[in-house]
Structure 1
Amino acid sequence: MDSKNVPEETKDESKNTKDPMQILEEALTLCKFGKFHVRLLAATFCCSIAIMSVTTTTSYILPIAECDLEMNIMQKGLLNGMPFFGQISASLFAGFLIDAFGRKIFLVGGNGIIFLGTLIEGSSQTYLMLVFTKLLEGLALSLCFSAVSTYVTEFCHLRVRDRILLINSSFVSLALVIAALLAWAILPIQFNYTIWSGYFELHSWNLYLYVCSIWSFLAFVLYLTLPETPKYLLSHGREKEAIEVLKTIYAENSGNKKDTFPIFSLNKSGLIKPTKEISLKKQIVNGLFETKELFRKPLVFKLILFCFITFAALIVFTSLRLWFPQVSTIIENYNIDHEEPARFCVMINDYMGGLQPQTLVTNTSATYECIPKLSGAETYRNGVILGIAAVISVGISGFLVDYFGQKILMFVLLILCAIFSTILYWTNASLQIAILISCTCALLQTALSLQQNIFIRYFPTTLRALAISIIIMIGRMGSLTGNIIFPILLNLGCMAPFISISVVSLDIKRHEFLHARQHFTQYLKVKKVSEFT
């Protein structure tokens, strides 16, 4: 009997042996959701607003600053696209660094640079100075953007992770609302303060940028108080530090002492391995060695698909979102100058045909003076509508995704985007135009959020930030392309950019169709089986 019992005990031990990442999931579950995660979400919220402010604030200052900075329509497009050029330049390198050296250092450093950059941006006196600071902010943004979603999810156990990602997506939508509300509160103020005549003058748009810098400062401070993620620490052999972080989270959430945390090791053997000191050179070599796995089957094919969808979607989303305040201002001013409403494209073409300095006649001579088309309450209200539509869309998708799956939902959202952007041509009421553009942007943002949920799960921890960075880099190429092409297409005619938007949305839909059809077939089979049983 003794000889029979020995192999049975060995079997049981092998069955009870768990992977370190599985033990980490159990440890995170024991930590629960509490005060620590509230602090984490507060930092994520501030960081999301700071990130969105880098790209969004430009769209609100374009109408009011066009004369102060002597901008034409093409220069406006370049200024809108400059942060994305900065991201393209650094995002791939940033992803490698985030995977090699951790998430926290880049979240702290990135938000610190954005804060300083926004202060300089708020002090801009020339167009070139504003372009340069937007480029600097784009470089810093690439350090944060790749890390923020990875950082927040790696502190959460599997049961709440999807909800946390949706909350993170809603923060981006809320950032649009906050940017519009701040613009509404500050930009209409008659603020002109001269510190050094002809060299340093501040206007309401400078003040608006100063106020927006607060969010990156708050994110900088909050991230300083948070630790590195235990998943990153464990994946880099720093188990002792990972245990200490888990104890800290457990103590803060439960109110118990750290010593009462029931898990003492994340290792298969149950013993804590001493943390090895690894040189900078060794870390870079290890990082490069891990990187090559991303470009092998099957990861490389998924990476290409995600890159294409993100590129095409961001051409549409970023162009509409960043040009929406300018388009809304055009419509608002047209309705003021004309008694009868006109179709959308008639209003846009009227603005494009009148892009000439207005003549100011005096007693002695005629001079040319730039008179800006200022935004009114309607433009800022439309910006709030856009943000609220995005929040609602993300919220509803959170319920629908459990029933239909992410791929099917993305397929439906992209079809609706193509329909809404096409209908724009036949609209003439400003509220209808605002709703159609807001719905198109909201649905596209939701589709991108769903895709983010997919690829965060698909790529392993050691390659996750790099994969996200590559996808973001390709996506930002789409954002930059869209912002440069949009004014060129406007010069060719109003309908050109919006027909292009519809075509791109349909092309994304075509690439999603095969995956959605397969997923929907599986869904119907499961449903029939459940009904039968």
Structure 2
Amino acid sequence: MAKVLSNKAQPSKGDGDAMKVLEDALTLCKFGKFHLLLLAATLCSIFAAMLVTTTSSYILPVAECDLKMTIMFKGLLNAIPFLGQIGASLFTGFLVDTFGRKIFLIGGNVGIFIGTLIEGSSQTYWMMLFIKLIEGISLSLSFSAISSMLSEFTPFHVRDRVLLAYSGFASTSLIIAALLAWVSLPLPIHVVVWEGYFELHAWNIYLYICSIWSLLAFILYYYLPESPKFLLSHGQEKEALEVLKTIYSMNTGNDRDSFPILSFNTSGTIKPTDVISLKKQLVNALIEVKELFRRPLIYKLLLFSFITFAGLIVFTSLRLWYPQISTIIENYSKSNGESAPFCVMITDYMEGLKEVQSRAMRNMTEPGICIPKLSGSETYMNGIILGCISLVFVVISACLVNSVGQKTLMFIILILCSICSGSLYWTKQSIVIAVLMSATCGLLQTALSLQQNLFVRVFPTTLRALAVSIIIMVGRIGSLSGNIIFPILLSMGCMAPFIATSLVALGLAGLVYFLPNVNEENKATGDQ
């Protein structure tokens, strides 16, 4: 039984589970200044991660001529960060569970920072493509640890709402990306540092600005401690207790030595990792990994992986194609002096694209002058609308999740998502199209966030980052597949990708029934 100084922290009789004692300790620490600092680090890290995959969709039109990009090259540049994540996710998840969260949060953000600076200095397409791949790998180092770190520091009674706030950061990043693009990309910047070898344009400056978030995340995580749950699960009881004392002192203003809990009663049960050789740590970690692929965890892993795969097929493709769709609608209205039904505008663009390609094939010998087609203010405004609506849904979910329940809320959100996607066929006003597209993306993102809140808490601490990495890896395969499938469906007919989105959302709503009820299952023991 844990040794305590007050009855308030005393666990129930017969409960010798160290993780339950840790949950009691986190409750005693309360939610305060320390958690605000952790949330600030999480915010910066999420911004850095999301911008790795989002910036390409805004710079493609501006940098088209500078980097001599074809349609295929643009698609590859959008997809390459996901390829980097797929290649590294499984490996990094295993390492995060073995060596801790903090080192990878620091290393991943340093990698993103350096990568974004080099990307901003790119002078050729292939240089940018290679750096985007490296950024994807760096993103993988940090991303699997972000949610684990946040969850493992947060008291049980506010964990769901804090994890939804984490999801809100992803929505906010869409607003920031659009605002930064709107401010910097239209600027007539052309700085010649070394003519023919090193020249800077507006999109270079945009990328430089985006690198700030990863730098801030690195600084904040550097001063934060390691997760107490990770330390305790690896036998480092004293270190875990010191971390909790720090949190207690920062949040309550009380002296560190007045912290009520004195021991978790786990000394000697696990040999601390700092006195075990690297080889032995890896062997022990491999032994623990086997538990993830045994019942019942394997069934939960497969269910979460499939839902994430299907959800990200439609969400990522809609999100990354949204600026392009907005540009299509904006240019149609300017050219024709009026709006038209959604499918009329999309079909007009697809037919015009085929005509341009046909004309180019007939005049292959004639050189042409590249003139970039810049996005107008409406496209950037739609990006802000997307982020705002997504953020509103996350805030509403955070308010309702405790009273309604995660599974019920997720089911309702997916049904609404299906309705919004299917309604696009009957719309013609650009603002209504923007709201419905944003609502579809926002609702789907909120549903995936609720699901993430579940799987972050379902798996034990020693397997959490690996499980999250596997699910993320499968999800990134879905993101890659979506970016390939979306234009194919679009060429088959305007509504094909949106009807597919509607059907996927309905199917996922049905799968919600089979998800575990984490709050009930972990009520007695706390999240393991």
By the TM > 0.5 criterion, same fold? yes
Residues 235 and 266 in structure 2, CA contact (< 8 A), matched pair in contact too: no
On the 8 A contact 2:340/2:428 being kept in 1, the answer is yes
Q: In the alignment, which residue of structure 2 is the partner of 1:265?
A: 263
Name the SS of the counterpart of 1:154 in structure 2: helix
Q: Distance in 1 between the 2:357 and 2:284 partners?
A: 59
Q: Deviations along 1:237-269, whole A, 9 cap, x unmatched?
A: 011111111122222223333222222211168
Of 71, 93, 101, the match for 1:95:
93
- The Cα RMSD (Å) is 2.6
Shift of 1:43: 0.5
Gaps of 5+ in 2: 1-9, 360-364, 521-528
1:130/1:352 Cα in 2 relative to 1: closer, same or farther (>3 Å)? farther
Distance 1:369 1:294, change over 3 A: same
Show the counterpart of 2:362.
none
Amino acid in structure 2 at the alignment position of 1:123: S
Question: What is the correspondence of 1:369-448 to structure 2 with a 5 Å cutoff?
Answer: 369-448=369-448
How big is the shift at 1:435? 0.5
> Structure 1 residues 429, 275: closer, same or farther in 2, change over 3 A?
closer
1:280 aligns with 2:278: yes
Q: Partner of 1:6 in structure 2?
A: none
Q: Distance in 2 between matches of 1:19 and 1:134?
A: 45
1:79 partnered with 2:77: yes
Match of 2:238 among 223, 231, 240: 240
Identity over the aligned pairs, expressed in percent?
A: 65
TM-score for the superposition, normalised by structure 2: 0.90
Count of residues paired in the alignment: 503
**CA 1:460–1:350 in 2, change beyond 3 Å: closer, same or farther?**
same
Shift of 1:95: 0.7
Match of 1:228 in 2: 226
Q: CA deviation at 1:374?
A: 1.2
Is residue 235–residue 267 contact of structure 2 (8 Å, CA) maintained in 1?
A: no
Distance 2:101 2:61 in 1: 37
Q: In structure 2, do the counterparts of structure 1 residues 347 and 75 end up closer, same or farther at CA, with 3 Å as the change threshold? A: farther
Using a 3 Å threshold, how does the CA distance of structure 1 residues 353 and 372 change in structure 2: closer, same or farther? farther
Could you tell me which residue of structure 1 aligns to residue 134 of structure 2?
Answer: 136
Unaligned runs of 5+ in 1: 1-11, 360-364, 523-533
Residue-by-residue CA offset, 1:19-71 (whole Å, 9 max, x unaligned) = 21122122222222222112111101100100110111111112222222222
When residues 366 and 156 of structure 1 are mapped into structure 2, their CA distance, relative to the original with a 3 A threshold, is closer
Question: Which residue identity is paired with 1:480?
Answer: L
3-state DSSP of counterpart to 2:211: helix
After the TM superposition, which of the residue ranges 333-342 and 310-319 deviates more from structure 2? 333-342
2:166 matched residue in structure 1 = 168
How far apart, CA to CA, are the structure 1 residues paired with 2:453 and 2:469?
A: 15
CA distance in 1 between counterparts of 2:310 and 2:446 reads 15
Distance 1:14-1:375 versus aligned 2 partners, 3 A rule:
closer
Deviations 1:508-532 (A, max 9, x none): 23333x448x99xx9xxxxxxxxxx
The CA distance in 1 between the partners of 2:130 and 2:349, in whole Å, is 28
Contact 2:414 / 2:508 at 8 angstroms: preserved in 1?
A: yes
Q: Report the equivalent of 1:324.
A: 322
> How far apart are the structure 2 equivalents of 1:14 and 1:73?
63
Check the 8 A contact 1:265/1:271 in 2, yes or no: no
Residue in 2 that maps onto 1:527: none
1:42 maps to what in 2? Answer: 40
Aligned pair partner of 2:303 in 305, 308, 313: 305
TM superposition shift of 1:14: 10
Are the structure 2 counterparts of residues 262 and 127 from structure 1 closer, same or farther at C-alpha, using a change threshold of 3 Å?
same
Distance 2:459 2:271 in 1: 26
Bigger radius of gyration among the two: 1
Mapped to 2, the partners of 1:14 and 1:357 lie a distance apart of: 72
Q: How does 1:332-343 map to 2 (within 5 A)?
A: 332-343=330-341
Q: Is 1:477 matched up with 2:477?
A: yes
* C-alpha distance in structure 2 between counterparts of 1:124 and 1:276, whole Å: 42
Paired residue type of 1:326: Q
The Cα shift of 1:424 comes to 1.7
Aligned with 1:124: secondary structure? coil
Task: Note closer, same or farther for the CA distance 1:186–1:13 as it changes in structure 2 (3 Å cut).
Answer: closer
- Distance between the aligned counterparts of 1:76 and 1:345, measured in 2? 24
* CA apart distance, 1:349: 2.9
**Contact map agreement 2:422 2:499 (CA 8 A) in 1:** yes
CA contact (8 A) 1:78 1:484 kept: no
- The answer for the alignment partner of 1:108 in structure 2 is 106
1:491–1:115 CA distance, 2 compared to 1 (3 A)? same
Q: What letter is aligned with 1:98?
A: V
User: CA 1:436 to 1:20, structure 2 compared with 1: closer, same or farther past 3 Å?
Assistant: same
Q: What is the DSSP-based 3-state SS (H/G/I as helix, E as strand, rest coil) of the residue aligned with 2:200? A: strand
Describe the shift of the 1:368–1:268 C-alpha distance in structure 2 as closer, same or farther (beyond 3 A): closer
Cα distance in 1 between the residues matched to 2:267 and 2:214: 43
CA 1:294 to 1:90, structure 2 compared with 1: closer, same or farther past 3 Å? same
TM-score where L is the length of structure 1: 0.89
CA positional deviation for 1:169: 1.0
Q: Which amino acid in 1 is paired with 2:432?
A: Q
> What residue number does 1:490 align with?
490
TM-aligned CA deviation for residue 139 of structure 1: 0.6
Q: Secondary structure at the match of 1:381?
A: helix
